[in-house]
């Protein structure tokens, strides 16, 4: 154990050399730590992204085919323009939805059926700008607005807590309770806080809405919960009160079906299946098709697209960080080896003395290694203090670049063929596309915010990892330098 004592003495007495080594080692470790921090942060962000998007598959009507059919029917249209009715998407049969729900791997499922309705006993939130209501006719869908759009959106579901709007934090329940399985056969609803305040409504009150297709059909709804929405939409969309987030009323999907009319009994717009294992998404689709799902009429969409979109910049950052770690490690080995080789040359007299005393070469090398360890421990401390700062600076820089490119990509995706991506982007929306359309406006900015959340912190795990890297670098450079020690002849050194 004498070599440990010697290492300690030598480190202490030769302060200048020790400080120099410590600074060099610290610089190397700071870069490695910065790389590790960014790498870990991007891994964490990827994990969060997969959690927030969840492992879900959405069953809905095959929209592409629906559009094709409407194209064919265009010639039949007397007025030579698309008949809005031809856009009507035939709903999903409940029986089929239930069949898929019984498959393996399905952790939970949520039936979605949405429609618009007119506020009867209360006032929907409307845009104050009166003149703009004229403009709405010139917008795409304006005709739809005139004929079908009511004041409020009835977003039918089988449970609010598994809806993406609630899981991703856009909507937060602030009073009362959410809707669950037990509310399916009730007229219980959850409304937005602005709507509640404007009409002086609270939990326990009842409201009335009428169907947009049949003015005779009025339903009394009981408010069981109030939520707060942070969703933002385009101001032009705000002018249509149905699209105003505050006018979304969450109800049982059966309530939505009733408002839509008799034809819609035992149907849903879409079903969101949450799987137990995210890796099973493709398997689920295959199994469903093997079980005889009519792929012409229905389509199954996994949430991969959105997940991948969020993933790309994070993976780029992670890859880059990994390369930094590797590169700096190699550079560190080279630099430290050179320094240690020079140090060994400078100290060859000392080595000769030890060898003449019959000290083993391995112990001489061990002494240098221990000296390096002492330096390493101090260097880890220095790196730990400053690495967080460096990691922050580099991480922000990288993300600023990465997110700007992704936002562009996301925007381009939206303009992609058939606009299907718009629906795919937010599969849980459903409801004749009203809600999907609205959410799409927010989706690309949402991707950006999610990635801005790179969590730059130093955990014990990272420090341990850093220690591992430092140890490796110290070890390799000592091994390289020790070749010199192995070849040293005490006679040549000591007798000149």
Partner 1 sequence: MLEIKDLNYWYTNKEDALYNDVNLTFEAGRLYAILGSSGSGKTTFLSLIAGLDVPKKGDVVYDGKSIRKIGMTQYRNRCVSIVFQSYNLLPYMSALENIVSAMEITHSKQKDRRAYALAMLEKVGITKELALKNVQHLSGGQQQRVAIVRAMCCDAQLVVADEPTGNLDEQNSREIILLFKRLAHEQQKCVIVITHEKDIAKECDTILQLKNKTFQLVK
User: Which residues contact partner 1 (rule: CB under 8 A)?
Assistant: 2, 5-6, 9-10, 13-14, 349-350, 352-361, 489-491, 494-495
Query: With respect to partner 1, which residue has the nearer C-beta, 14 or 465?
Result: 14
Element (DSSP H or E) covering residue 300: strand 298-302
- CB of residue 346 vs partner 1: minimum separation in angstroms? 11
CA dihedral 386, 391, 394, 400 (to 10 degrees): -140
Q: Using CA atoms, how far apart are residues 285 and 244, in angstroms rounded to an integer?
A: 34
Instruction: Spell out the residues 6+ positions from residue 16 whose beta carbon is closer than 8 angstroms to its own.
Output: none
Q: Using CA atoms, how far apart are residues 198 and 195, in angstroms rounded to an integer?
A: 5
Query: With respect to partner 1, which residue has the nearer C-beta, 6 or 388?
Result: 6
Instruction: Spell out the residues 6+ positions from residue 440 whose beta carbon is closer than 8 angstroms to its own.
Output: 414, 422, 425, 426
Query: With respect to partner 1, which residue has the nearer C-beta, 236 or 361?
Result: 361
- CB of residue 459 vs partner 1: minimum separation in angstroms? 38
Query: What's the DSSP call for residue 416?
Result: S
- CB of residue 473 vs partner 1: minimum separation in angstroms? 25
Query: What's the DSSP call for residue 419?
Result: G
Q: What is the number of residues in the chain?
A: 496
The structure tokens 């799902």 sit at 293
Query: With respect to partner 1, which residue has the nearer C-beta, 172 or 491?
Result: 491
Query: With respect to partner 1, which residue has the nearer C-beta, 9 or 452?
Result: 9
- CB of residue 492 vs partner 1: minimum separation in angstroms? 9
Query: With respect to partner 1, which residue has the nearer C-beta, 51 or 349?
Result: 349
- CB of residue 373 vs partner 1: minimum separation in angstroms? 17
Query: With respect to partner 1, which residue has the nearer C-beta, 307 or 369?
Result: 369
**Exposed, middle or buried, 248 (CB in 10 Å: 0-12/13-18/19+)?**
buried
Q: Using CA atoms, how far apart are residues 298 and 93, in angstroms rounded to an integer?
A: 10
- CB of residue 7 vs partner 1: minimum separation in angstroms? 10
Q: Using CA atoms, how far apart are residues 402 and 41, in angstroms rounded to an integer?
A: 15
**Does the CA dihedral 271-274-275-279 come out positive or negative?**
positive
Q: Using CA atoms, how far apart are residues 92 and 44, in angstroms rounded to an integer?
A: 37
Query: With respect to partner 1, which residue has the nearer C-beta, 259 or 485?
Result: 485
In angstroms and rounded to an integer, the radius of gyration of the C-alpha atoms of the chain is 33
- CB of residue 372 vs partner 1: minimum separation in angstroms? 16
- CB of residue 371 vs partner 1: minimum separation in angstroms? 11
Integer angstrom CA distances of residue 358 from 63, 486, 489, 490? 85, 14, 12, 10
């Amino acid at each position: 154990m004498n070599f440990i004592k010697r290492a300690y003495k030598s480190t202490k007495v030769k302060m200048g050399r020790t400080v120099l080594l410590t600074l060099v080692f610290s610089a190397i470790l700071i870069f490695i730590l910065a790389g590790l921090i960014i790498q870990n942060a991007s891994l964490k962000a990827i994990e969060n992204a997969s959690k927030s998007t969840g492992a879900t598959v959405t069953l809905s009507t095959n929209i592409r085919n629906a559009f094709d059919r409407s194209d064919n029917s265009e010639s039949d249209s007397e007025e030579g323009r698309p008949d809005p009715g031809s856009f009507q998407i035939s709903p999903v049969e409940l029986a089929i939805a239930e069949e898929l729900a019984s498959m393996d791997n399905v952790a939970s499922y949520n039936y979605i059926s949405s429609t618009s309705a007119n506020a009867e006993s209360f006032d929907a939130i409307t845009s104050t700008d009166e003149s703009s209501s004229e403009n709405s006719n010139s917008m795409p869908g304006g005709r739809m607005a005139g004929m079908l759009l009511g004041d409020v959106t009835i977003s039918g579901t089988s449970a609010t807590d598994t809806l993406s709007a609630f899981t991703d934090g856009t909507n937060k329940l602030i009073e009362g309770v959410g809707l669950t399985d037990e509310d399916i056969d009730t007229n219980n609803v959850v409304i937005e806080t602005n709507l509640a305040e404007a009409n002086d409504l609270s939990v326990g009150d009842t409201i009335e809405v009428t169907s947009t297709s049949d003015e005779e059909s009025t339903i009394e709804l009981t408010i069981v919960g109030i939520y707060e929405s942070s969703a933002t939409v385009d101001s032009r969309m705000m002018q249509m009160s149905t699209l105003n987030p505050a006018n979304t009323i969450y109800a049982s999907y059966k309530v939505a079906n009733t408002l839509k009319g008799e034809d819609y009994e035992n149907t849903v717009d879409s079903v969101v299946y949450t799987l137990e294992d995210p890796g099973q998404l493709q398997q689920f689709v295959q199994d469903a098709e093997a079980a005889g799902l009519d792929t012409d009429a229905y389509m199954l969409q996994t949430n991969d697209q959105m997940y991948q979109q969020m993933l790309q910049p994070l993976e780029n950052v992670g890859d880059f960080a990994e390369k930094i770690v590797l590169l700096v490690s190699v550079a560190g080995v080279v630099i430290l080896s050179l320094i240690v080789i020079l140090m060994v040359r400078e100290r060859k007299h000392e080595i000769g003395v030890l060898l003449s005393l019959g000290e083993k070469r391995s112990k001489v090398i061990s002494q240098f290694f221990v000296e390096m360890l002492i330096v390493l421990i101090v260097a880890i401390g220095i790196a730990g203090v400053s690495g967080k700062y460096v990691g922050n600076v580099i991480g922000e820089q990288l993300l600023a670049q990465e997110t700007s490119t992704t936002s562009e990509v996301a925007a381009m995706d939206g303009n992609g063929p058939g606009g299907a991506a718009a629906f795919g982007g937010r599969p849980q929306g459903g409801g004749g596309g009203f809600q999907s359309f609205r959410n799409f406006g927010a989706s690309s900015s949402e991707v950006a915010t999610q990635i801005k959340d790179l969590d730059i912190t130093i955990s014990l795990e990272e420090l341990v990892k850093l220690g591992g890297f430092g140890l490796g670098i110290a070890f390799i450079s000592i091994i390289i330098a020790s070749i010199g020690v192995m070849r040293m002849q005490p006679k040549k050194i000591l007798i000149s």
